[in-house]
Structure 1
Amino acid sequence: MANSPSGDSMLDRFVRILDAFDADHPALTVTALARRAAVPRATAYRLVEELVSHGLLARNDDGETRLGLRLWELSNRASMTRDLRLVALPYMEDINRLVQQNTQLSILHEEEVLIVERLSRPGAAVNQAHVAGRMPVLRTSMGMALLAFSPQHVIEGFLERHHQDALALHPDLRRTLAHIRLTGYATLAGFTDPGTTGAAVPILDERRHAAAVISVVVPTESDLLPAAVMALRTAAGGIARALAGTV
């Protein structure tokens, strides 16, 4: 697509508009959308009209816009996470019945934890994970398990790019990652929400790298963690075997 006078392409602007929506901003006025996407307001109005006409955005009765259903349709036709989610859901439901808390499935994507699926129960502990939302690697058990079981060059690159954050949050991160690899799971208490503990077990591919992780969030003071970790181990192994059988 042709570049704008500012040098960015029209496709860049389309993507920034779609990226402007998140869990905290599910609906936006065009003015707010233009500001968050760093697009001139007149251009934003024109692009929004095009996106609405194609079903990629939808307009509320009050004039605000939100992501359109066609995006959901497209993402579910050929998503690389589709098989993962379908295979993992029965295992997640079993864990959810056992723990009666929060259960997540996630992958490492663009150096963040991308939530693929989440199940919860009434009265469950506070949990910041949302489907299609992203969370920081170093502040979640999901991220730590994904990083620990990543290829060595991925670990080294991440540590180089995030050295200051790693030093502040995990002063001996290499040893922590080695311990996660030794035990086969990661736990973090109070890093995201006070009073909650996350536990995550990697779903390993044929190279023993993390294709994804399955995890729970439970109240820190509860005695659920040992049983939850055991259930996560069983589920991760079953999901890995099932995924290998779909190749």
Structure 2
Amino acid sequence: MGGLTQDPEFLATTFVIIDFEATTPTGYPAQPVEVAALALRYQDADWTPVGRSTSLIRPPAFAPVTPAFTAQTGLTAEQVRLAPTPADALGALDRRFTADNRYLLVAQHAATEANLIHNQREHCPTLASIDLLDTIPLAKHLIPGLPNYKLDTLLAHFSIEHPADRHRAHADVDVTAQVFIRLIAAANDNAQLNDLAELMKLAGRTAKCNIPIQGELFDIKPPGEPDLRGRNSW
């Protein structure tokens, strides 16, 4: 057995699996239409869910739900027209994170989630400051030789049931969590990764808000600390 799940830093971390569904308007960055998150802690030699959040998000007028998007996700223009605004939906998610806990976001192809979060950072400053863990490089390291490392391929490899509502954020979060748990078990069983630092070196992604900006090139005032009082945390 490896030391990964015995590492104090690993045990102190809440891993938040996150997934967005988004429209991709021409000439604009992707706009979130749905977000889901599932928070997990490794406790007493097993994974424990400690919180869940899901919400539709109303996209701006320049990023409408298209027939192709509806065909893929099942979400309609009418459904998202009545959804919370990005400020409301992502603000509510942001308030789940507290200053006294350590978090890592976990995502399949984390660059997609990282960009969406960064572009919405005014609504979710705390979320936007959390680093990410990408299941794709982790899977490539632990399971070499697969034809590709798409989510459906990993589900088939691990014999995880394909959800009926695949491409909805809540369903994709659930199966991504199952993939993540199996990858951590493989790393631990084979003693390939000994602690959280090694895990992050292999598959970590720094949140864009945490990447230093050269002061002499950009005169940007750092944002104030977010108000964490009264949060419904996980």
- Normalising by the smaller structure, the TM-score range is under 0.3
TM-score, length-normalised on structure 2? 0.26
Structure number with greater CO (CA < 8 Å, separation at least 6) is 2
Larger Rg: 1
TM-score, length of structure 1 as denominator length: 0.25
